């Protein structure tokens, strides 16, 4: 059913397709596209049957005619596009990472607040069935006090022999797998376990001839004393994406290796269990993908039907944790997250 809302999409490469799918699922008409690559723009306009297109985002906003915009261009474009959207009074769903620095993220947050528009960050895992259910279980005390958290995103670019140029070049991406995959995990680290106090990270470039790291590990310590580990790689054959949260009275596990939409809750309430045999409650989730749910949540937030599912501030804290991890890797020492201010 149509909401009467209209959207535009800036950056019509790989990830933009899920923005289009999400808007159409939410009853929002995508009326304009913007990509500075003329060929990509023309192909998308034809594929998606969108008649309005421009290579210049400032022209897009000058002409207006839409209420929402997805910023799905490389990370360096997130800040100028969000500021332009705020000036035009347009609500923003910006891809992750929200920005490459705290200072830029703060400017984006302030601009949207002053303009009275929603700023939401596309950390879509917050809208996934397993994460929403895991949060409910943690808040209900189902696993007791959290002891440690394991967060993993490891892939190999589908077996391709090179990394997309916009991801490989530091000026465009801002960082490698630690930023690209790790910012989702940094957001999950907060969302599932609370405030992170410090991080100790190690980076490597092992497979691709690129400026940024393709393999990264980060050990985190929560403000409450629990531990965690973030593992990211562009060098891991296959694709595993998952989270594991351990508590004093149970554990939560979710990995695409056992199905993309499953959450397992392990606990011990039956007598006579063994080391490996615990009680297990399994949850399965159907319906739209996390990406589509997140875009639908953005539309709901704009309509005042639910709180913003991932605020600019939450996106900024994910960036702060990743920047602290980069500082740690450079210093080969633990870094307190609060010390990252720029
Ligand atoms: N949420 C997720 O899971 C997820 C997944 C993939 C990518 N991303 C993020 O989405 C963003 C884009 O990634 P992608 O994989 O789609 O990259 P991509 O390179 O496939 O597409 C980006 C597009 O933006 C266009 N572009 C570049 N500069 C522009 C400008 N100034 N104005 C308009 N268009 C411009 C490029 O021509 C390209 O077509 C990145 O920030 C990335 O981190 C998020």
- Rounded to an integer, the average pLDDT of 275-285 is 94
Report the nearest-CA residue for atom 27 of ligand 1.
73
Could you give the CA distance from residue 23 to residue 295 in angstroms, rounded to a whole number?
Answer: 7
Nearest protein Cα to ligand 1, atom 1: 122
Short-list 108, 207, 96, CA closest to 160: 207
Q: Are 125 and 205 in contact (CB under 8 A)?
A: no
Measure the CA–CA gap between 34 and 52, rounded to whole angstroms: 9
Write down the pLDDT at residue 269: 94
17: left (phi over 0), alpha (psi -120 to 50) or beta: alpha
Q: What pLDDT score does 119 carry? A: 98
Give 221 Cα–ligand 1 centroid separation in angstroms.
32
User: What are the Cα distances from residue 240, in Å, to 157, 188, 257, 270, 284?
Assistant: 12, 15, 7, 31, 18
Q: Which residues contact 19 (CB under 8 A, 6 or more apart)?
A: 7, 9, 70, 72, 93, 295
Centre of ligand 1 to C-alpha 279, Å, is 43
Alpha carbons 334 and 150: distance in angstroms, whole number: 18
The two three-digit tokens of residue 152, written as one number:
């993993």
How are beta strands 68-71 and 91-94 bridged, if at all?
parallel
Task: State mean pLDDT over 1-12.
Answer: 96
Q: How far is the CA of 96 from the centre of ligand 1 (A)?
A: 10
Q: Ligand 1: distance of its center to the CA of 71 in Å? A: 8
Binned at pLDDT 50, 70 and 90, residue 310 comes out as very high
Q: What angle do CA 331, 333, 335 make, to 5 degrees?
A: 95
- Residue 179: strand, helix, or coil: helix
Ligand 1 atom nearest residue 13's Cα: 21
pTM for the whole structure? 0.95
Block residue for tokens 């601009």: 111
- What pLDDT score was predicted for residue 161? 94
Q: How many A from CA of 113 to the centre of ligand 1?
A: 24
With CA atoms as reference, report the closest residue to 189 among 87, 4, 317. 317
- Residue 180 Cα: closest atom of ligand 1: 43
Pairing of strands 91-94, 335-336: unpaired
Atom of ligand 1 nearest to the CA of 78: 41
Q: What is the 269 CA–ligand 1 centroid distance (Å)?
A: 47
- Using CA atoms, how far residue 109 sits from 117, 185, 271, 303, in Å, is 10, 21, 52, 19
Nearest to 109 by CA among 264, 316, 275, 269: 316
Per-residue model confidence (pLDDT) at position 261: 81
Helix axes 102-115, 312-331, angle to 10 degrees: 170
Distances (CA, A) of 216 to 156, 198, 243, 263: 13, 16, 16, 25
Q: E strands within 35-172?
A: 52-54, 68-71, 91-94, 119-121, 146-155
User: What three-state secondary structure class fits 204?
Assistant: strand
Cis peptide before 321 (omega within 30 of 0): no
Atom 33 of ligand 1 has which residue's CA nearest to it? 35
Atom of ligand 1 nearest to the CA of 57: 32
Classify 4 as helix, strand or coil: coil
Q: What is the pLDDT of residues 42-67, one digit of tens each?
A: 999 999 999 999 999 999 999 999 99
Tokens of 327: 């500082």
Ligand 1 pocket, mutate which of 8, 9, 10, 11 (most atoms under 8 A from CB): 11
Q: What is the pLDDT of residue 172?
A: 80
Q: For helices 182-193 and 129-139, give the axis angle rounded to 10 degrees.
A: 30
CA nearest to 301, candidates 50, 47, 28, 98: 28
Mean residue pLDDT across the chain: 96
Ligand 1: residue of 21, 54, 74 to mutate (most ligand atoms within 8 A of CB) is 74
Q: How many CB atoms lie within 10 A of CB 200?
A: 18
Residue 74 CA to ligand 1 center (angstroms) comes to: 4
Q: Which residues line ligand 1 (CB under 6 A)?
A: 10-16, 34-37, 40, 57, 72-75, 77, 95-96, 122, 124, 164, 166, 180
Question: What gap in Å lies between CA 82 and CA 114, rounded to an integer?
Answer: 13
Task: Give percent of the chain above pLDDT 70.
Answer: 100
Share of the chain above pLDDT 90, in %: 94
How far does the centroid of ligand 1 lie from the alpha carbon of residue 309, in Å? Answer: 21
- Give distance in angstroms: CA of 73 to centre of ligand 1: 3
Statement: residue 301 has pLDDT above 80: yes
Segment 219-278, tens digit of pLDDT = 999 999 999 999 999 999 999 999 999 999 999 999 998 877 899 999 999 998 899 999
pLDDT for position 1: 82
pLDDT tens by residue, 140-194: 999 999 999 999 999 999 999 999 998 999 888 889 999 999 999 999 999 999 9
């Amino acid at each position: 059913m149509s909401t009467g809302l209209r959207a535009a999409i800036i950056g019509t490469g790989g990830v933009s397709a899920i923005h289009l799918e999400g808007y159409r699922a939410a009853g929002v008409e995508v009326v304009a596209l913007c990509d500075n690559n003329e060929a990509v723009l023309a192909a998308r306009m034809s594929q998606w049957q969108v008649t309005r297109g421009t290579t210049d985002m400032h022209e897009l906003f000058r002409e207006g005619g839409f209420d929402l915009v997805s910023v799905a261009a490389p990370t360096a474009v997130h800040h100028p596009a969000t500021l332009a959207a705020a000036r035009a009074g347009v609500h923003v769903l910006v891809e992750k990472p929200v920005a490459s620095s705290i200072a830029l993220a703060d400017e984006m947050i302030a601009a949207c607040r002053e303009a009275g528009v929603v700023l939401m960050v596309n950390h879509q895992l917050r809208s996934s069935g397993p994460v929403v259910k895991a949060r409910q279980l943690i808040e209900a005390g189902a696993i007791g006090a959290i002891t440690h958290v394991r967060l993993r995103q490891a892939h190999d670019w589908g077996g391709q022999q090179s990394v997309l140029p916009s991801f490989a070049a530091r000026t465009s991406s801002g960082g490698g797998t630690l930023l690209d995959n790790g910012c989702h995990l940094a957001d999950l680290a907060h969302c599932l376990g609370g405030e992170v106090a410090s991080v100790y990270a190690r980076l490597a470039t092992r497979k691709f001839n690129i400026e940024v790291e393709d393999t990264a590990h980060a050990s985190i310590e929560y403000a409450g004393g629990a531990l965690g580990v973030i593992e990211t790689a562009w060098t891991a054959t296959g694709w595993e994406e998952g989270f594991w949260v351990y508590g004093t009275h149970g554990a939560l596990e979710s990995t695409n290796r056992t199905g993309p939409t499953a959450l397992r809750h392990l606990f011990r309430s039956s007598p006579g269990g063994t080391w490996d045999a615990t009680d297990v409650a399994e949850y399965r989730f159907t319906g739209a993908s996390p990406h589509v749910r997140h875009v639908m949540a953005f539309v709901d937030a704009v309509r005042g039907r639910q709180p913003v599912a991932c605020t600019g501030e939450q996106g900024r804290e994910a960036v702060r944790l990743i920047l602290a991890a980069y500082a740690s890797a450079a210093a080969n020492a633990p870094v307190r997250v609060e010390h990252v201010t720029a």
